[in-house]
Amino acid sequence: MITLHQVTKHYGSVMSLDDVSLEISAGEIVVIQGPSGSGKTTLLRLIAGLETPTRGQISIAGEQVSTPSGVTPAHTRGIGLVFQRSALWPHMTVVQNIRFAMHELSIPHTADRLEQLLEDMMLKKLANRYPNQLSGGEARRVALARALSNNPHRLLLDEPLTSLDPEQAARMLDLILNYADIQQATLLYVTHISDEANQVGGRLIRLQTGRVVEA
Amino acid sequence: MKTPIRAKAVGLLLLLLPIIAACRSETGQNQVIVYTSVDQVFSEPILKRFEEESGIEVLVVYDVEAAKTTGLVNRLIAEMKAPRADVWWNSEIIQTLVLKEKGVLASYASPQAESIPAIYRDPDGYWAGFAGRARVILVNTDLVANPDRIHSIYDLLNSNWDGELIGMANPLFGTTATHAASLYAYLGPQLAREYYEGLIAHGVRVVDGNSVVRDLVANGTLAFGITDTDDACGAWARGDPVAINFPDQDDIGTLVIPTTVAQINEAPHPEQARMLIDYLLSARVERMLVEAGFSHIPIHPDVEVTDTCISTQNIRGMAIDYTQIYGFMPLMQTDLREIFLR
Amino acid sequence: MLSLLKQRLFNSRQAIPKWIAFCGYAMIVLGPFLLLSYATAHSLLNGDAAWLQLLIPSGRRLLLLSNSIGLGAIASILAMCLGWIGAVMLWSSSSKHSHSLLWMVLPLAALPSYIYALAWFAIATSISRLLGSGTARLLQGWSGCLWVEVAAFSPLALGFAWMGLRNIDPDLIDSSRLSRTDFQTLLRIILPLSIPATLTGGGIIFLFSILDYGVPSLFQVDVYALEIFAEFSATNSPQRAFLLALPLLLFAVGVLIALLEPIRKLTSRQVLHRSSWNTPPRWPGWVANLGWMIGIVLVVQAVLPLATLVVMGGTPRQFIPNLIQAQAETGYSLQLAALTSLFSLPMALGVAQILVHRKIKLLWFLSLMPVAMPASLVGVSMIFLFYHPTLQRDYLLALMPIFAQLARFMPLAVLILLAQLRRTDPLLFDAAQVFQPSVWRRHFQIGAPLLAPGLLAAAGIVFAFSLGELGATLMVIPPGKSTLTMRIYNYLHYGASGAVMGMSLVLVISIFMTAAGIATVIKLWSRPFSKAKTQS
């Protein structure tokens, strides 16, 4: 379970999230919707441990992970995240990007897992390419493969279908939902497109100017 | 219609104009342009006084020792086809001889030079020397019990002293180079080379300049070293524990290096140049340089040394012609680069 | 057909400013090198073929060359290591003071290394008086020379490393932090991604180190640069000095060109401007301690010489007369440096825009040569290039020091702007071209703000180096004018250490005041942009 208790986040004088409280059960699929600037990305980043809350607490699996005075490191939270932009490391090939994201200790068969991911995401032929040699859709698939490489229990997706054509988008969404289903993973899916939100299904949380207006 | 951004750009340009205007160099007719390697602290007051007295504007470019004598001399050579300078005022003599040979200088027999001994002026009037300095040994009196016994350039080879405690400036540059060439001329290339090889074998410290020798002797890092009179007396004047000895007074004598002044060929302001040369060669200016502590070996017979730092009466100078020294420069440079730069 | 022709004409008109900039650059930067090459070839063909042996460093000269390369390599590697670790500590620190500390140290890059050497000499003398003469020996020979060079170059190294770190897309760091520790992220993501700036900085430091003979000769380390000066001094022949300098130039520029290829490959486009460490990093204990130690070394290297300047030249009795006497030189130096950096920007930007889509190695090679050329040779060739009886115009002569400084440092501005252009989304410029017909508006409202970090960095570097320039300025400075650096060196010879320290202090204060002025302008300029720095 992921719990946010009265979480507020300021950037200087700008309020990004304002007194947000939420409970997300394990294995639940949640779509976070809202217009630009409503705080969707900030919410994901706070859960991932990439931001420190200005006020409030965040707990994951009953353990308090983020308070204004301290944040447990992101890599200990068992979270996979797909950023709005693919954010692939430009100095690493596709396979190096995915392998670097794997916790070698937690996955006994790194090579098998890598193979499977390349297969699932149709990346086998691209394995040795660098990010600047990939198309937009290919880069998104690598970003998803990287996010899934650790078999995370919680998958956070920040507008993952941006810049994909409809066919690629449908294929990508399939991959995501399939993974969540098989792994019983908690899915937090950020989008501002209603159709996409409907396709994902699950609970809808609507944000506006940093506040939860529908949960 | 003007767009605001264009207005901004124009505003920016207007702001820049005064800066650009301030950088403008001012050149006019009643002026004289001097390039000098005499330290600014000594030359500036003299040139200012000339300006006040003559009404001629003096524009100066001061040389910088860090350029290792490649600065203004090479500028003058490069400018030969379109000369900018009128007067060259050099703190020593060899570079002036270089300029004469390259055809940079014009002949001008200043009436003020008539009283200067022939050895200190060019027979064809290309340059004249005054306000001499000499090579001396500066000794730290805290470290050396009887400083008078360090009185020869050969004391730098004395094995009783750790080479690390003895210093000299790099002999490839400045007056130390002139001194080296004079030894080549006086002793002959073989003996001179052996002398310098001996210095390296003894581990004598070669430092960046004569002023560094002075400072290191003054603060006790070195026991003694060889430098110029102006540097040595500078240490004495600030009360450092030093003694100053003229080397080899019963033998080869010490090297006296005059300050030299010359007119530039096709100088843009020849009349003003001559007036300044006359002024610089006057006994009055030499006296000013002596009083300021720059020169301790005046050339004019009626200029006396008032500085009590060192007695220059009856000092024995090296009996050698400057053109001879100049002739040995190339050989000395080749040899000493092999010995000192490796 | 007609519209196609019109379009072509329009496109070529768009490129005109770039090519004008390029011509100016070619004349000022490539001119001196090409002229000296021509003069040297001419001498060789006219019977001075024996000079060719100057080209081959053998025996003693080979040893000197290896000394120079060794010293330059060690100094640049050490300075970059210190600078990089220091920059990482400041960059990842959540303290608001980290930026102030950076801005305190950066302007020190403009202080000539000779001044550092003097200050450290003074410190060593005081220490040896307290603890015995043995301690002063640590600051002699290679160790002393390296210590002073690293001290003098570390502000520059810090600046380059900081620029490299700031240019890393924060998402790349965040995506690594999700699965790896901060230390692993540092080694595997941050270090490789900051390599372009680190290599550029290291290359530039290497160039400046191998050209400097002042600091090595203070520490009795014999280097090749001194040999070049000995040759120039003995023969007064720029051609001979140039031939002798060529092996050093070829090596230095060769290294830099070799570095450019990985730089080009590694540069990624950056779009997002967000701080990278919104949750503080957790370093292993030893890393944090090492960071602290290096931080202390950097601060000591920067602060101790400064403190020495203040103690030895900062008493009112010494400082105020120096300030008054050096007033004209200070003003002139600042004007020259300001104008040089200002003139360098449009030209360097034009050249960078031409180079950004092309791999013209020869052009790179030629334009980096003047950076690696001994300063007085640049000055001499400037005289050959521009002095002609028919060209003796006051304004041209007044511009000569600016030309000389541009020749020496403009390629650095090109290097920095090229990096900035590669990191800026070209679509933004394309969009401006589509929507805004006015070239002026495109430059001022789109180009300038987008390239602002690069433009400022380039201007800052050119300003700092111009302020400390000596060799080339001395050759072309108009009579009656003098720069503060020239005055400092002139007094240095006289041995007026109090006055030298006092004037160095004036130089430092001028640099800090200029830096503060620039920082204020940036703050005012970027106020409208900074409001947009939030997450969606």
- 3-state helix/strand/coil string of C76-115: HHHHHHHHHHHHHHHHHCCCCHHHHHHHHHHHHHHCCHHH
Would strands B256-264 and B128-140 be described as parallel, antiparallel, or unpaired? antiparallel
The pLDDT value recorded for residue B1 is: 39
Across the interface, whether the CB atoms of C178 and A75 are under 8 A apart is answered yes
Q: Are B133 and B228 in contact (CB under 8 A)?
A: yes
Q: CA C5, C7, C8 angle in degrees (round to 5)?
A: 65
Residues near C359 by beta carbon (within 8 Å), at least 6 away in sequence: C264
Tell me the per-residue pLDDT of A86-144, one tens digit each, with 9 for 90 and over. 888 888 899 999 988 886 545 567 888 889 889 888 899 999 999 888 888 899 899 99
Structure tokens at B13: 């340009």
Q: Are C221 and C145 in contact (CB under 8 A)?
A: yes
> What is the distance between the alpha carbons of residues C99 and B36, in angstroms, rounded to a whole number?
45
The pLDDT value recorded for residue C502 is: 82
Nearest to A15 by CA among A33, A39, A34, A36: A39
| Mean pLDDT computed over every residue of chain A | 88
- The pTM for the full model equals 0.81
Q: Which helix (H) or strand (E) holds C400?
A: helix C394-423
How far, CA to CA in Å, does C376 sit from each of B278, C71, C474? 32, 22, 8
**CB nearest to A87's CB, from C172, C188, C279:** C172
Shortest Cα–Cα distance, B219 to chain C (Å): 8
DSSP label at residue B243: E
Give SS3 for B242: strand
> What is the distance between the alpha carbons of residues B178 and B316, in angstroms, rounded to a whole number?
18
Domain ranges, ordered by start, for chain A: 2-214
Cβ-in-10-Å burial (0-12, 13-18, 19+) of C419 comes to: buried
The total of other beta-carbon atoms located within 10 Å of residue C496's CB is 20
Lowest mean pLDDT across A115-119, B69-73, B140-144: B69-73
Torsion of CA A107, A112, A117, A123, to 10 degrees: 140
Residue B212 predicted with pLDDT over 80: yes
Tell me the per-residue pLDDT of C353-407, one tens digit each, with 9 for 90 and over. 888 776 667 777 777 777 778 787 888 888 877 776 666 566 777 888 999 999 9
Domain ranges, ordered by start, for chain B: 31-132+257-311, 133-255+326-340
Residues linked to residue B212 through DSSP beta bridges, in sequence order? none
What CATH number was assigned to the domain covering residues C314-528? Answer: 1.10.3720.10
Predicted-complex ipTM score? 0.85
Lowest mean pLDDT across B159-168, C126-135, C160-169: C126-135
In chain B, residues with a C-beta closer than 8 Å to the C-beta of C399 are 23
> What is the distance between the alpha carbons of residues C248 and C206, in angstroms, rounded to a whole number?
11
The pLDDT value recorded for residue B238 is: 85
The pLDDT value recorded for residue B3 is: 45
**CB nearest to A91's CB, from C192, C272, C533:** C192
**Fold (CATH) for B31-132+257-311:** D-Maltodextrin-Binding Protein; domain 2 (3.40.190)
Amino acid at C110: A
> What is the distance between the alpha carbons of residues C345 and C424, in angstroms, rounded to a whole number?
17
The pLDDT of B93-101, averaged and rounded, is 91
Strands (E), C373-501: none
In chain B, residues with a C-beta closer than 8 Å to the C-beta of C474 are 61, 63-64, 67, 71-72, 75
Residue C1 predicted with pLDDT over 60: no
Structure tokens at B127: 């340059």
**CB nearest to B61's CB, from C220, C445, C477:** C477
Specify the residue for token string 């507020």. A8
- Among the ranges B257-261, B319-323, C99-103, which has the highest mean pLDDT value? B257-261
Q: To which CATH superfamily is domain C54-271+282-306 assigned?
A: MetI-like (1.10.3720.10)
Amino acid at B109: A
The pLDDT value recorded for residue C312 is: 76
In chain C, residues with a C-beta closer than 8 Å to the C-beta of B67 are 376, 470-471, 474
In chain B, residues with a C-beta closer than 8 Å to the C-beta of C346 are none
Strands (E), C450-503: none
The total of other beta-carbon atoms located within 10 Å of residue C94's CB is 12
Across the interface, whether the CB atoms of C475 and B75 are under 8 A apart is answered yes
Tell me the per-residue pLDDT of C421-439, one tens digit each, with 9 for 90 and over. 877 777 777 676 666 666 6
Across the interface, whether the CB atoms of A100 and C179 are under 8 A apart is answered yes
Nearest to C120 by CA among C310, C301, C296: C301
Q: Are B289 and B302 in contact (CB under 8 A)?
A: no
* Strand ordering across the sheet containing A70-71: A14-24, A2-11, A55-60, A63-67, A70-71
Amino acid at C29: V
The pLDDT of B230-238, averaged and rounded, is 89
> What is the distance between the alpha carbons of residues B277 and B110, in angstroms, rounded to a whole number?
7
Specify the residue for token string 């002798």. C244
> What is the distance between the alpha carbons of residues A97 and C158, in angstroms, rounded to a whole number?
29
Q: Are B105 and B88 in contact (CB under 8 A)?
A: yes
Across the interface, whether the CB atoms of B172 and C233 are under 8 A apart is answered yes
Specify the residue for token string 């063909």. C45
Q: In chain B, what is the straight-line distance between the N-terminal and C-terminal CA atoms, in Å?
A: 69
B118 vs C: CB within 8 A: no
> What is the distance between the alpha carbons of residues C345 and C352, in angstroms, rounded to a whole number?
10
**Fold (CATH) for B133-255+326-340:** D-Maltodextrin-Binding Protein; domain 2 (3.40.190)
Residue A213 predicted with pLDDT over 90: no
The pLDDT value recorded for residue C304 is: 81
Give SS3 for C463: helix
Domain ranges, ordered by start, for chain C: 54-271+282-306, 314-528
The pLDDT of B194-198, averaged and rounded, is 95
The pLDDT value recorded for residue C29 is: 86
Cβ-in-10-Å burial (0-12, 13-18, 19+) of B250 comes to: exposed
Phi–psi pair at C283, nearest 5 degrees: -95, 150
> What is the distance between the alpha carbons of residues A19 and A6, in angstroms, rounded to a whole number?
4
Question: In the CATH hierarchy, which top-level class contains the domain A2-214?
Answer: alpha beta
Q: Are B25 and C397 in contact (CB under 8 A)?
A: yes
Across the interface, whether the CB atoms of C493 and B98 are under 8 A apart is answered no
Residue C57 predicted with pLDDT over 90: no
Nearest to C220 by CA among C300, C133, C112, C148: C148
> What is the distance between the alpha carbons of residues B58 and C479, in angstroms, rounded to a whole number?
9
Q: Which residue has the higher pLDDT, A170 or C306?
A: A170
Structure tokens at C533: 């720095």
The pLDDT value recorded for residue C13 is: 59
The pLDDT of A182-209, averaged and rounded, is 90
Q: Which residue has the higher pLDDT, B224 or B40?
A: B224
B191 vs C: CB within 8 A: no
Phi–psi pair at B227, nearest 5 degrees: -155, -170
Closest chain A CA to residue C533: A11
Amino acid at B39: D
Across the interface, whether the CB atoms of B71 and C474 are under 8 A apart is answered yes
Residue C11: band (very low, low, confident or very high) from pLDDT cuts 50, 70, 90: low
> What is the distance between the alpha carbons of residues A58 and A7, in angstroms, rounded to a whole number?
8
Domain C314-528 in the same topology as domain C54-271+282-306: yes
Residue C530 predicted with pLDDT over 50: no
**CB nearest to C479's CB, from B33, B40, B219:** B33
